[in-house]
């Protein structure tokens, strides 16, 4: 992701977090020569621990607009961890002009999604497919960037986006701007 952002603006600074230390170690190795990108271990269920961590504070100016990307991570938070609360916490802390991206697996009344969720939760302990209404709540109070909340592959597809996939309805996402 940082390569995409920095191809547009080389001054973009990126902080990745993951709860898995081995993922963070891989990211750090990949960005070892990149002074504009870093990573640390954190639990996405605890947004203040991410936003108030000295690494984040030392790397980003959170008083200016920034973007939070919750891609493939809210689906790993249980109902008890409350992904809607997590998204709300990030939204509340962002200054005006900031962006939130959330793209996660979707329960679109496809029985295959239910079967996949069962297999994921059984094998890996997480992977919850949630209905459109829950995804909509991630963006409460934000202005959605066109085309809004849609199946992930319908969000500004380009020549690399598969048009016909059997899993087209398995994930959705949007980008919202804080007014």
Residues that bind ligand SAM (CB under 6 A): 18-20, 23, 43-45, 71-73, 76-77
Interatomic CA distance for residues 87 and 138, integer angstroms: 5
In the complex with ligand SAM, the residue whose CB is nearer, 44 or 51, is: 44
For the stretch 10-14, contacts whose Cβ atoms lie closer than 8 Å and that sit 24 or more positions apart, written own/partner, are 10/36, 11/36, 12/36, 13/37, 13/59, 13/60, 14/38
In the complex with ligand SAM, the residue whose CB is nearer, 18 or 107, is: 18
In the complex with ligand SAM, the residue whose CB is nearer, 70 or 149, is: 70
Shortest Cβ distance from residue 124 to ligand SAM (Å)?
9
Shortest Cβ distance from residue 16 to ligand SAM (Å)?
8
Output the residue with the shortest Cβ distance to ligand SAM: 72
- Residue 16 CB contacts under 8 Å (≥ 6 apart), including other chains: 1, 2, 24, 27, 37, 38, 39, 40
In the complex with ligand SAM, the residue whose CB is nearer, 141 or 157, is: 157
Q: Cβ distance 65 to 45 under 8 Å? A: no
15 pairs with which residues across the strands? 38
Shortest Cβ distance from residue 96 to ligand SAM (Å)?
25
**Could you give the 3-state DSSP secondary structure of residue 151?**
strand
In the complex with ligand SAM, the residue whose CB is nearer, 15 or 45, is: 45
Its sign, for the CA torsion 34, 35, 37, 42, is positive
Shortest Cβ distance from residue 41 to ligand SAM (Å)?
8
Shortest Cβ distance from residue 68 to ligand SAM (Å)?
12
């Amino acid at each position: 992701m940082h390569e995409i952002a920095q191809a547009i603006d080389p001054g973009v600074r990126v902080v990745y977090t993951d709860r898995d230390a081995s993922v963070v170690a891989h990211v750090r190795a990949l960005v070892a020569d990149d002074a504009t990108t870093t990573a640390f271990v954190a639990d996405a269920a605890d947004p203040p621990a991410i936003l108030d961590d000295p690494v984040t504070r030392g790397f980003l100016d959170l008083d200016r607009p920034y973007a939070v990307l919750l891609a493939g991570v809210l689906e790993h938070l249980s109902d008890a961890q409350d992904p809607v609360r997590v998204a709300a916490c990030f939204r509340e802390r962002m200054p005006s002009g900031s962006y939130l991206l959330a793209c996660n697996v979707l329960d679109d009344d496809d029985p295959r999604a239910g079967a996949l969720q069962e297999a994921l939760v059984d094998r890996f302990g997480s992977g919850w497919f949630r209905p459109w209404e829950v995804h909509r709540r991630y963006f409460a109070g934000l202005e959605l960037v066109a085309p809004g909340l849609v199946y992930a592959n319908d969000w500004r597809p380009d020549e690399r986006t598969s048009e016909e996939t059997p899993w087209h309805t398995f994930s959705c996402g949007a980008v919202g701007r804080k007014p």
